[in-house]
Structure 1
Amino acid sequence: MEKLQVGRAELTWLRGGVNHLDGGAMFGVVPKALWARKYPTDEKNLIELRTDPILLQLDGRNYLIDSGLGIDKLSEKQIRNFGASELSFVEESLSELGVEPTAIDGILMTHLHFDHASGLSKKGKEGYETIFPNAIIYTTAIEWEEMRHPNIRSVNTYWERNWRPIEHQVETFADELEVAKGLRMIHTGGHSEGHAIIVFEDGEDCFIHMGDLMPTNAHENKLWALAYDDYPVTSVHEKQEWMEYGYNRQAWYTFYHDAYYRAIRFNERAERIDAVERARVLKGERFN
């Protein structure tokens, strides 16, 4: 498992699952001739996407950033449609680190689409139950409202089986929330109306988790928005603001979906000056 130290914060990437989606949908109106230079595609135009939560250990507390695909949330049809080649090993990853699910203090949800929220719960004796019983689950109030009352478009990604088991653990916020000293969640909208990013600052050290505003390293260009975005113009403006902010801080940008990079650091001229690559080692597969 890859690690990164940023000031007081230690980040470790867990195995949350793998799916494959159409490259055109992931890059919106950007011509394939441009995006394919930056992110590989297969013969079906599918690109590999991780769904790997980040364990964030800070000041003696354990946080997760998003939760993975889960282990029993997708039907056989959904596994085919979403190109899922591996489901979640989050609990096993935590066990390797000596961290029990009960030791997770908080979960920072950028948003609640199925590929980010399915790992919050699993099947128990009497239906689905929470995996992290002692964690506060942080999300924006807008996102939580749509999760429970999806519209005709979002009903395919906001699932009752993902929110019902954990509703007693949810704490919402409006614009910004300081979870711990230097650790903030900030509402951006864009990908979804309630989407949030995560910013950590400790002196000169900084990381920014852009969520699905910049799901892969190839999405650095502020104009490259996803066809999946509910509000692509908002995505563009928010990405522009937070990329400029991070460049000036020489911040690390961390990824949940990228199959090749865990994190990349840029300087004030938007040049890559450091990176954490993902070790592409297949240890096994898990399906429903």
Structure 2
Amino acid sequence: MNQLTIGDYTITWLEGGVTNMDGGAMFGVVPKPLWSKKYPVNENNQVPMPTDPLLIQGEGRNILVDAGLGNGRLSKKQQRNYGVTEESNVEQSLREMNLYASDIDAVLMTHMHFDHASGLAREEQGQSVPVFRNAVIHVSETEWEEMKNPNIRSENTYWEKNWKPVAHQVETFESELQLTENIRMVHTGGHSAGMSIILIEDESSTLIHMADNMPTHAHQNVLWVTAYDDYPVDSVYMKEHYMNWGCQRHAWFTFYHDEIYRALKFNPSGEVIEAVTREKLNGS
């Protein structure tokens, strides 16, 4: 499993499943001859999109960023439509680290779309039950309210079975949550109205996890946003802000969905100066 050290924290990527999404949807109005030079695509115009949670360990805490696809949470039709080639191995990944799902103290949900939230629950004896039963689940208030009351567009990705089993674990925040002295969640909007990013900062290093506001390294260009973004102009503005700020600080930018990279560091000119390449397991 890939790891990255930021100050006193260790970040480990867990295996949360793999989807293969339509390339046109993932890159929006960007012409295929441009984006296909930067990201792999198959003969069906699908691009590989892992759904791999980040485990943050430090100060005696185990903190998960998003939850993966889960297991048995998608119908066969949904698996076909979303090109699912692997379901979640998050619990197996944790066991390799001598941890269990019950050891997770907090889950930071950047947003609640199915490919990030389906791993919050599992089926046991015909009922959906929490996977991370001892964790507090943090999500922006805006995202949580839309999750419970989706509109005609978002009801395709906000599923009742993903929020009802864990509702008693959820704590919401409005604009910003200071989780520890060095870790915070910031509500930015963009990809969804309630979208949040994760920041880790100390005196010597910075990590920025923009989740689906910059889902892959190929979305580095601030104008390259997905067709799934509910507020694409907001995505552009927030990405421009955090890219400029992060590049000046030589911050690590981490990814949940990227097929090639786990994390990248850019200089102020936007050139890659350091990388953590995704270790491919189980043939993924």
TM-score, structure 1 normalization: 0.97
> CA–CA distance in 2 between the matches of 1:105 and 1:215?
25
Give the aligned partner of residue 117 of structure 1. 117
1:166 Cα shift?
Answer: 0.3
Gaps of at least 5 residues in structure 1 are none
Distance (whole Å) between structure 2 residues aligned to residue 278 and residue 225 of structure 1: 22
Work out the CA distance in 2 between the residues paired with 1:239 and 1:283. 32
Q: Distance in 1 between matches of 2:134 and 2:181?
A: 20
- CA drift of 1:72 comes to 1.2
- The C-alpha deviation readout for 1:145-168, integer Å capped at 9, x for no partner, is 000000011101000100000000
Q: Deviations over 1:34-73 (max 9, x none)?
A: 1111001111111000000011002110000000000011
| Structure 1 partner of 2:242 | 242
Give, as a single letter, the amino acid of the residue that structure 2 aligns with 1:122. R
Q: Extract unaligned runs of 5+ from structure 2.
A: none
Following superposition, the deviation at residue 281 of structure 1 comes to 2.9
Residues 1:107 and 2:107 aligned together? yes
Q: Give the drift of 1:269.
A: 2.0
Aligned partners of 2:126 and 2:70: how far apart in 1? 18
Aligned to 1:55: 55
The one-letter amino acid of 2:149's match is: H
- 1:32 maps to amino acid: K
- Tell me, yes or no, if the aligned pair for 1:204 and 1:249 is still in contact at 8 Å: no
Partner residue in 1 for 2:36: 36
Indicate conservation of the 8 Å contact 1:213/1:225, yes or no. Answer: yes
Closer/same/farther in 2, CA of residues 40 and 52 from structure 1, 3 Å limit: same
> 1:152 maps to what in 2?
152
| Partner amino acid, structure 2, of 1:178 | Q
Deviation at 1:125, TM superposition (A): 2.2
Q: Equivalent residues in 2 for 1:174-185 (5 A)?
A: 174-185=174-185
Match in the other structure for 2:209: 209
RMSD: 0.9
Could you tell me how far 1:119 is from its partner in structure 2? Answer: 0.3
Paired position in structure 2 for 1:253: 253
Aligned to 1:220: 220
Percent of aligned pairs with the same amino acid: 54
Structure 1, residues 188-238: CA drift from partner, whole Å, max 9, x if none? Answer: 101000000001001120100001000000000000010000000000000
CA distance in 2: counterparts of 1:126 and 1:78, whole angstroms: 20
State whether residues 17 and 69 of structure 1, in contact with CA within 8 Å, keep that contact through their aligned partners in structure 2: yes
Following superposition, the deviation at residue 261 of structure 1 comes to 0.5
Report matched runs for 1:189-200 at 5 Å: 189-200=189-200
Q: CA deviation at 1:283?
A: 5.7
Is contact 1:120-1:130 (8 Å) kept?
yes
Residues 283/24 of structure 1: CA separation in 2 closer, same or farther (3 Å cut): closer
